[in-house]
Chains A and B, each alone.
Chain A
């Protein structure tokens, strides 16, 4: 029975075994470059970063190209860098977190008010702030993963809720820098400086660098990290191939909230005081760093190291143009160009060249 119907396969006996192939020697520079970008997405922002440092270094000389100025950039981007790391995790899952800035601010207010209003030990107040950040993030994650609401809507709402709660709770009151320095210097710990030669570092900068290294490791070399990419790539496929999509999503938003808590702590160190009106631009700035860093807004592609470079690029442009005496609007204009260029490059990388 089967033989009579399968006769057409007899033609396979002498079939050629070669597969359609491209000429490999034909692979030009562009194709190789394309392949390199496809496997290492952080390459583009790295090249832009190095180019920007070289250009500003040549234009401005030692004014820019000094340990002091270069580490000043690190200090200026530390808050955005930390928040952008949180944003990267969420965007890798094809989501977006508009509440990152608000979470950072409210956790800094919690840390300050718990110390000064309730007289809690300052370490406990910091821990409470970090916990609050984690819980708000987890709530975002629960709404996205379990209630299946779009991340944009959830975090847009959470942004307003958290920001309003922040003003209501703090009664729009700033805790002065002198008071913190006198009574609870631990709140300013992330801002404490130490010098290595002419270079000036803060613990916030050190934290940002360690955070990027830890997250890069976790995303690359742990099952959790692989699941984050799989969920961002195709949540249904991830679910069917055995990933707990809901748990992964909730954990991502919760970790993002925790990182924003650390950003809130670093924010106190950076500005010295606890101010409920600080950090208003962190949302947009963090998304900018992520996009320039080459992480795809469609999820599943990109690396956290790219985000770090993205944040540094913004910092280099900002300081470089200011030292060059240019109008600050030039910075925004150039960053706008970079954002669009970065997305265009992302689209180009996605055109797969096998």
Chain B
């Protein structure tokens, strides 16, 4: 089977630091791929290279067999790659609906949209409310409330909902459960399964081994700027994965 996203020989240097050292990457259709690695292994750089937040110095990326080279997050997004960043990338003073549609606002039909460029608030609010309730993640009464008035878990939910609503090819989740409590984490994990059931593959970056081993089909272990190995969580113990990523043990 052909990977939906394939990267070969990615290199990224920051001054004298090598963040990506001829790194390879494969994401198969319909899978949840975990990405784990020690701090400073280059996970974030790898994800940023794929999501267009930075461009690699060398190497190539193919999306569905087509060679791509993203110069901005907008370009990656237009190609169907949605990313939920650890910082969530939301504007605190703007409303939930505004945030969900940031950069892809819906204009009104007819002359108001065409000549006055008027936004169709009702359509955006309805859509946002529907997506949030589909996920059953939130107890939000007012879709127009500012994001800064939401709790951490609710914000995470809005960000994941935004990605799930618009990600057509694949979704990247960077530490989606890091800031959440047990209950909220469970909801996000269920949500990840829901998104997978819709046929959208997911890349999950996380430090939380139980979460990674529970939901992922394969696990990409990143070490010293490159892919060390890919393991099947059903065949390995968590302690093996930790040993691989810290260099305590070599994969055979």
Contacts and interface: CB of A to CB of B under 8 A. Distances in A.
A233 to B, nearest CB: 4
Given A240-B53, A242-B77, A226 B90 contact: no
A133 interface: no
A326 interface: no
B73 A242 contact: yes
A222 B108 CA distance: 10
Interface stretch (B5-13, B27-35, B230-238): B230-238
Nearest to B237: A1
A122 B183 CA distance: 70
B44 to A, nearest CB: 13
B182 A234 contact: no
A11 B183 CA distance: 10
A12 B183 CA distance: 7
Interface stretch (B92-100, B196-204, B217-225): B92-100
Contacts of B102: 226-227, 230, 238, 241-243
A237 B213 contact: no
Contacts, number: 103
Given A352-B148, A354-B149, A240 B85 contact: yes
Given A237-B87, A242-B103, A229 B119 contact: no
B210 A6 contact: yes
Interface residues of A, number: 35
Interface in A209-237: 217, 221-224, 226-227, 229-230, 233-234, 236-237
B98 A1 contact: no
A240 B116 CA distance: 27
Given A237-B87, A301-B93, A222 B117 contact: yes
B90 A237 contact: yes
Given A229-B94, A354-B149, A242 B118 contact: no
A229 B90 CA distance: 12
Q: Most chain-B Cβ atoms within 10 A of its Cβ — which of A12, A226, A352?
A: A226
Chain B interface category by residue count: 35 or more
Contacts of A244: 74, 103
A147 interface: no
Given A9-B186, A226-B102, A239 B94 contact: no
B210 A237 contact: no
A19 interface: yes
Nearest to A41: B93
Given A230-B102, A352-B148, A352-B149, A238 B182 contact: no
Contact of A241 (B89, B93, B209): B89
A329 interface: no
B2 interface: no
B90 A241 contact: yes
B139 A19 contact: yes
Interface string B182-202: 110010000000000000000
A243 B103 contact: yes
B114 interface: no
B21 to A, nearest CB: 25
A284 to B, nearest CB: 27
Contacts of B99: 241
B126 interface: no
A262 B78 CA distance: 38
A1 B99 CA distance: 39
A93 to B, nearest CB: 12
Contacts of B107: 223
B109 interface: no
Contacts of A6: 210, 214
Closest 9 CB pairs of A and B: A242-B103, A240-B89, A354-B149, A223-B105, A233-B91, A237-B89, A230-B91, A241-B102, A2-B214
17 contacts: A1-B237, A2-B214, A11-B182, A12-B183, A221-B116, A223-B117, A223-B119, A226-B105, A226-B119, A230-B98, A233-B91, A240-B83, A241-B99, A241-B103, A242-B73, A242-B102, A352-B149
Given A38-B146, A352-B148, 13 more contacts: A1-B234, A5-B210, A12-B182, A15-B183, A222-B117, A229-B91, A229-B94, A230-B91, A230-B98, A241-B89, A241-B99, A243-B102, A354-B150
Interface of B: 53, 72-74, 77, 83, 85, 87-94, 98-99, 102-105, 107, 116-119, 121, 139, 145-146, 148-150, 162, 182-183, 186, 209-210, 213-214, 233-234, 237-238
Interface of A: 1-2, 5-6, 8-9, 11-12, 15, 19, 38, 217, 221-224, 226-227, 229-230, 233-234, 236-244, 300-301, 352, 354
